[in-house]
Structure 1
Amino acid sequence: MGLLDRNDAPGEHAPSWYAESAHDFPRLLPLEESRRADVVIVGGGFTGLSAALHLAERGAEVVLLDAHRVGWGASGRNGGQVGVGQRVDQPDLERMIGLEAARAAWEIGRDAALLVRRLVMHHSIKCDLRTGLLYVNHRKRYDADSEAMADHMARVYGHHDVQYIPPAEMPRLLGAEGISGGTYDALGAHLHPLDYAHGLAHAAMKAGARLHEMSRVRSVETGKVTLASGAEVTADRVILACNGYHDGLVGEVAARVMPINNYVVATEPLREAEAHALIPSDAAVADSRFVVNYFRLSSDHRLLFGGGESYGDAFPADIRALVRPRMEKLFPSLRGVKLTHAWGGTLGITRTRLPMVEEVAPGVVSAGGYSGSGVAMGTMMGKVLAQLHLGDPARFEVMRSLPRPAFPGGPRFRRPTLVAAMLAAQLRDAL
């Protein structure tokens, strides 16, 4: 049993607050007959939907296939944070690949956040888009790095939307315990991810893309995908947009993108004043732990809190018990609060935390491994793969050149190696 089947009912969204509160979206018919297209896309998350939209708007004939529902995977159940830049801090990226290449990657990551905003506005997507990302330090020793980072981004990249927040000023932005300083990025944002995915799907279909749910792909090869039903789609190009749910469909992707599980809870609706006291800035927040805590307020004054990871196929039996202690440590006032929803999801990570963007076979391209930055980067990579098909490979080549080595140990031993590394990182978090 693979990740597509292990933890969720077929064709049903995870039992999340997002699924309960999302605007109505129709069930789409499965693909039952073989057909021809210019491009066939496997996966109906942000990457696949963005690719379908950008291709269809330029007149390409597009077929998109999803094994369950549009937005069913990580795209419909994540923290909703619209990050800015790459998942790796720019000074670290400069040391990895040099300033010129790092600058090109930064511009793509910056434009990813802008692209999300433009799509929401242009297509009138109702997804509760709000401004602000707050990155906070759980240890004072990280404050100097945060201050230097904000200065570096302004001086070297002209990114003046990010500012350092010293510890004395943090309470006006965040009411959490055990937090020192951090940075606030006004270009970042947060949104209802499932509504955003549905909005992209509506826009893609309006542009002429054909989207099919409950259409599982069994195999991929140059010029063709074959469904479990036996139907085939032949196309000039195949786009793989599966991220953590690739289930070993293509070995090159499986070697470099590792699925891990992360968890989110939603509190009952809080009094407006109580919710405001938790996050006065109304920003989305992520902390400096290796296993990140991330949280924000919903439109109905709930705290949506994500944290905790697991590395096997199965989700824990009691997600609330896993996440609640992390939440209550930061927000003691929420001890004993009712958690109305708890859900898990699978995301794709790479060793370097940089996306895995590659032509994995002639005419078969893949993007994934966003390592927690998929709202913005998934949207942008969909556009980048569309541009590649339309004759503009520049940004594809930038992303393709980023280092994303294979996980050591091969299919049999890579997961134990990852678990050992994660446990060591969690020990560092506690120091």
Structure 2
Amino acid sequence: MDCWMLLVSLGSRMTRLSRLSVYAAVYLCLCLLANVVLVMVFVMSQRWGDSTPAAAPRGGPASSTHDWDLNNARLLTCKEIHTIRNLTVIGSGWTKTVYRGLYGNSAVALKTVHSSGHDMTSCQEETSVCYHRCASKIIKETALLRELKHPNVLKVLGECLPNEDYSPGPPAVGVVAVITELGHPVDMIEILQMDFESRLKLAYDVVSILQHLVHSPLGSLLMKDFRRQQFVIVGDTLKLSDVDDIVLGDPKCTHDKDCILEISSGKHVKSYLPCSAGKCKGYNSLSNAIQAGQHFMRLLIPYGSPKALENTSSDILNRLLAGNLYSEEVYSEIHRLVRNYSSGNYLKDTEKDMIKDYVAYPGETISEGDFSCQKTAAWGCIQSVSSPAEGAWLCSQIPKCEAFILIDQRSWTGRQIAVFKSSLRNIKENKEHTLYIRRGQG
């Protein structure tokens, strides 16, 4: 406004100012306006930060983050995705980049096209065409994840499929984005450091995925790549996250000789399957099971189980790696192992009789006497037990143990949590605990 007032003033004083002065004033005002416009464009283009994909909003106002959480059935839309904050790159590949971000108070993962990835940089066509080709892979993967909805499949929380063609901007428009649950990679060292029950939970998740792949809403599915990189852990649950290499249906055939399954990674396996109704019967089920054994089960079930279950665990693994268990069969075997572990049926009568050497004190606990023991938390000796009898037997096997406490908490298998103690000092009242003291110690 000041610039235009200056021009008016200059016009009224034309007789005292040279024409050159007027041109100079006009030029300065135009430069000032141009700078303001450039700053506004820059701010808009940086709304999500340099590494953040912008999403073109669809119609309708964005909903408040306060009425949404991870269990909400409503999918997030373009405008809501646009409000995700604190975006940080956590992974990238040839086609897509994955960000970690916050929507409201919920941590989520955002997937979008990797603009400088191999698929984009190697494409020789127009940028919008190359982008559309890459985005179609993400859209296909998202649709498949939604079709395979299952507790052990990564949950899709939202998507943005704008109508505009992609343009890098600034500001960028036409950006395809997908929101999913946030998980962390499956780390082999982390798995080996887990106790047996935690690894058994992952084994339980693996066979649940195997069962779902065989009996999915789309029919029998083959995972060509069953490596740990195709999965993430959300909370304490293993979930299938990458479905790029899934194949629908068992292979077609005309003769039995067309149905030879051969897997060379890890232990070499060669299996002969029947050709039935034009398809290799059970091909996907067996292939998935063998690969799951090679990439997961060999790390999950052979170590740390109660001695009475070691032979059972080893037998399951050996048959699985040899190609003698289909997905449905290994599913049944692991479920049977979990039931046996949960119930304590593996305990011998002499081990169960150890409870006679202990006196129970309901409503009492011990606040001191913590000590470390193998494969438990560093600050105490804590394990799950199927019954007070197993707690008594475990305590009798630990030289330091004089007592144990059963607390009002249970593991995922339903076993009760026991805390083992090396001292009887500082006995207190606690209605949710039951104290067991070895006879002759109190």
Tell me whether the two structures share a fold, i.e. TM-score over 0.5: no
Q: TM class by shorter-chain length?
A: under 0.3
What TM-score do the two structures reach when normalised by structure 1? 0.21
Q: Which has the higher contact order (CA 8 A, sep 6+)?
A: 1
Could you say which structure has the larger radius of gyration? 2
What TM-score do the two structures reach when normalised by structure 2? 0.21
